[in-house]
A and B are shown apart, each in its own frame.
Chain A
Amino acid sequence: MKPPPFDYVMAETLGEALDLLASLRDEVQPIAGGQSLTPMLSLRVARPGVVLDLQKLGELRGIAPVAGGGLRIGAMTRQVEVLESPLVAEHLPALADAMRLVGHFQTRNRGTLGGSIALGEPAAENPAFALALDAELELRSAGGTRTVPASAFYTGPYMTERADDELLVAITYRPPAHARIGIEEVMQRKGDFALSGLVACIGTDGRGVIDDPRLAWFGMDTRPVRAAAAEAAMRGRQLAELDLAELAELALTDTSPIEDSHGTPEYRLAAGRAIFARLFNRLLA
């Protein structure tokens, strides 16, 4: 359980970090809070030549409201800071609910929002929450900045659209108007990754008609996935007239749960059915 040898660089500025990524590309592994990466190094599933530490980059920290409603959060903002933020409590309280499920008190004190989103663990809360909100992910390289929607970011297990020379620098959440947003999951122990998890962000026209439904599963596939069929079935319907049992089955058709030592696909589907009902009953109450 000891990491293999690597070179370590503490980036003093964002420019320096981006220049190093531009020159060494996939030999470099950026480290944010390191709460997932450090064990991956110790288990030797990650073997970078250079570990690039981003913790001094103050410009990547902070939470600010954006015009039109929503929040822009710097990638290096620690999970505890998101959890305790008055701005999050005011503009996007469901994000704090999600953050409460991320790891433990002790890991949230060091882990970052951006690290969790950029890593793309399929059973983690933050990637699925970003997917359900279709968050804007700001990727910066020495050549410039581009914004990728979370819906186009996750391509496979721990695989994302981030290029080797890019850093995720900020995440912008723009919740739809009159949205009901929530998260539910089943896990073995509090703080564990989910066996099955669901984030719902149900935008309405303000009179109970669903006009922007988004559902994102986590722990139910090799990456976080949207439940497109169920979203289509919800669009234009009244909140009060949803057939939840039917909708849950439809939502599960977009998943492909894996088999591992923690559960069979059948178990994960059963858990998904249960949390779907739990989450919708809570959001529609």
Chain B
Amino acid sequence: MSDHDITLTVNGRTVSRRVPARLTLIDFLRGELGLTGTHAGCEHGVCGACTILVDGVAQRSCLQFAVQADGHEIETVEGVSPRDGSLNEVQQALHDGHGLQCGFCSPGIVMTLESLRRAGGDGEAMRAAMSGHLCRCTGYQGIARAIARLAGETTDEVPAHG
């Protein structure tokens, strides 16, 4: 099994490590860098919990190897959250719309929506992209509400109990 020296940018920080070829990017982020905000769910590309940004584009971190990220720019949920502990625009919309309960799927959803928000994606594109995220708590209604707010489709107040 080959080992490789890699240098990549993670949340704006340059990181250099030696990794075995078979180490997935999700295990690298969580195990090597301690960035446990990215969640490992199904680990075969179905659930979407591990979604991160690679060069600004939403991708599964369980469907690529750390060695393949050499030279690339990675962003995780830790990187898009304000350092003062407040919420970014996507996180605030999910909070306001009751778009989460247990929170396991949320980091992935935040990253997908963050990538689309930056790219100027509309509500339809955001809703379509939710097919790539399994949420077992919300029934997606709260997420759909959050997207409607994020995309500027509505400014309605959300009822207190979702």
Chain A residue contacts of B51, Cβ below 8 A: 106
Chain B residue contacts of A190, Cβ below 8 A: 131
When chains A and B are docked, how far (Å) is the Cα of A7 from the Cα of B58? Answer: 27
Q: A42-B43, A107-B45 are in contact. Are A8 and B63 (CB under 8 A)?
A: no
Minimum CB–CB distance from A187 to chain B (whole Å) comes to: 10
Q: A7-B1, A7-B21, A51-B21 are in contact. Are A105 and B63 (CB under 8 A)?
A: no
When chains A and B are docked, how far (Å) is the Cα of A112 from the Cα of B59? Answer: 13
Secondary structure type dominating chain A contacts? loop
Q: A5-B20, A42-B44 are in contact. Are A106 and B1 (CB under 8 A)?
A: no
- B1:A6 contact, CB within 8 angstroms: yes
Q: How many residues of A contact B (CB 8 A)?
A: 30
Minimum CB–CB distance from B64 to chain A (whole Å) comes to: 6
A35 touches B (CB below 8 Å) = yes
- B132:A104 contact, CB within 8 angstroms: yes
Q: A5-B20, A39-B44, A51-B21 are in contact. Are A105 and B2 (CB under 8 A)?
A: no
Chain B residue contacts of A9, Cβ below 8 A: 2
Q: A38-B24, A39-B45, A51-B21 are in contact. Are A107 and B63 (CB under 8 A)?
A: yes
Smallest CB gap from B60: residue in A: A106
B67 touches A (CB below 8 Å) = yes
* Chain B 99-117 interface 0/1 with A at a Cβ cutoff of 8 Å (1 = within): 0000000000000100000
Smallest CB gap from B20: residue in A: A5
- A7:B44 contact, CB within 8 angstroms: no
Of all A-B residue pairs in the complex, the 4 with the closest CB atoms, nearest first, are A104-B132, A5-B1, A8-B21, A39-B44
